Amino acid sequence: MKIRLEWLLLFIFLCSVFMTEQIYASPLQKESPSYRYVEPEEIFITTESLVDILHITDEDEYIIEWTGISETSDETDTQQSITFLFDDGYLKDLSSGWSEESSHVSITKQTLSEDSSRYNAISFHFMTKTPVFSYDWSESMLYVFDTPMTELHSFKKPKSKEEEKSQQVLDTIIKQQQNHIRRIIKDKASLESGVMLFPLYDMTAWKSLKNSSEFPHTHVEEIWSDIYQQLMEERKELQADNKKGMPFISWNKNSRQLSLYIHYGHV
């Protein structure tokens, strides 16, 4: 019964997205700071994102807690972590933390949620210690299921065939949904065929970009700060309008342009 309901919600959502077709885009590059990049392994001891159920309030609602942590071997001039929580691909909440002359940053936030969902928690970690800077990402994933046959429960990795099947079904639904939205963005934004387009929380894509010679390492902190500020502002408006947003990133290696796209849907 629950699986059928997920597919029905997917169908309704795709119809509403197809009819609204709203896209927001913004360039994210600024001038380059005068620091030299070093690999995160040389600086960070820990970069970690955590997400878990903190408390079940009743049969359907629960509190999700997620954390972004970074620690360096020595004190740094500045250290920052920006963390995002996604619910089935949609931005649910975000937070940030900052320190000076410290070796540690930790951000923890809680949010109320309900029903079956896949949660992706990601964090961007950044530090400076003149004349060098470094950055890294971390991620964590949590599956929460509430079905007529089982009590509300969660897992990071399936421990049974039933959990494995539930995970596969939910992952497939989210992937189909994102593929559809990706096609809408490419069409409405008239993106070239060679432009890379991926969900904001896709760490595999970010790390692939990082390894490319064209990627602007010296802009990364400003890029993620811009992403954070823009999503913070958008989230306030979305909540007022009873909408939700699914952010995507595009990378045009020919023009060396990184852009943020947000596709809107109704809650």
* Neighbouring C-beta atoms of residue 60, cutoff 10 Å: 11
Residue 150 is predicted with a pLDDT of: 77
Helix axes 161-188, 2-20, angle to 10 degrees: 10
- Tokens for 70, please give them: 């970074």
20, 260 contact by CB (below 8 A): no
| Residues 219 and 32 sit within 8 Å (Cβ to Cβ) | yes
Number of Cβ within a 10 Å radius of residue 150: 12
pLDDT at 111: 93
Q: What is the residue-level pLDDT of the chain in tens, covering all 267 positions? A: 222 222 222 222 222 233 334 455 555 554 445 789 999 999 999 999 999 998 887 767 899 999 999 999 999 999 999 999 999 999 999 999 999 999 999 999 999 998 899 999 999 999 999 999 999 999 999 999 987 777 888 999 999 999 999 999 999 999 999 999 999 888 888 888 889 999 999 999 999 999 888 888 888 898 999 999 999 988 887 777 778 899 999 998 888 888 899 888 776
* Mean pLDDT score of the chain: 84
Q: Helix/strand/coil (H, E, C) string of 123-166?
A: EEEEEEECCEEEEEEEEEEEEEEEECCEEEEEECCCCCHHHHHH
Give the torsion sign (CA, 10, 239, 185, 68): negative
In angstroms, the first-to-last Cα distance of the chain is 21
State the residue for tokens 């897992």. 155
Q: Quick check: bond before 216 cis, omega within 30? A: no
- The tally of CA atoms less than 13 A away on the side-chain side of residue 219 is 16
How high is the pLDDT of residue 26? 54
The DSSP secondary structure of 192-256, one letter per residue, reads -TT-EEEETT-HHHHHHHHTSTTS-GGGHHHHHHHHHHHHHHHHHHHHHTTEEEEEEEEEETTTT
Q: What is the pLDDT of residue 27?
A: 57
Q: How far apart are CA 32 and CA 207, in angstroms?
A: 20
pLDDT tens digits, residue range 156-201?
A: 999 999 999 999 999 999 999 999 999 988 888 888 888 999 999 9
CA atoms within 13 A on the CB side of 263: 31
Domains of the chain: 2-266 (2.60.40.10)
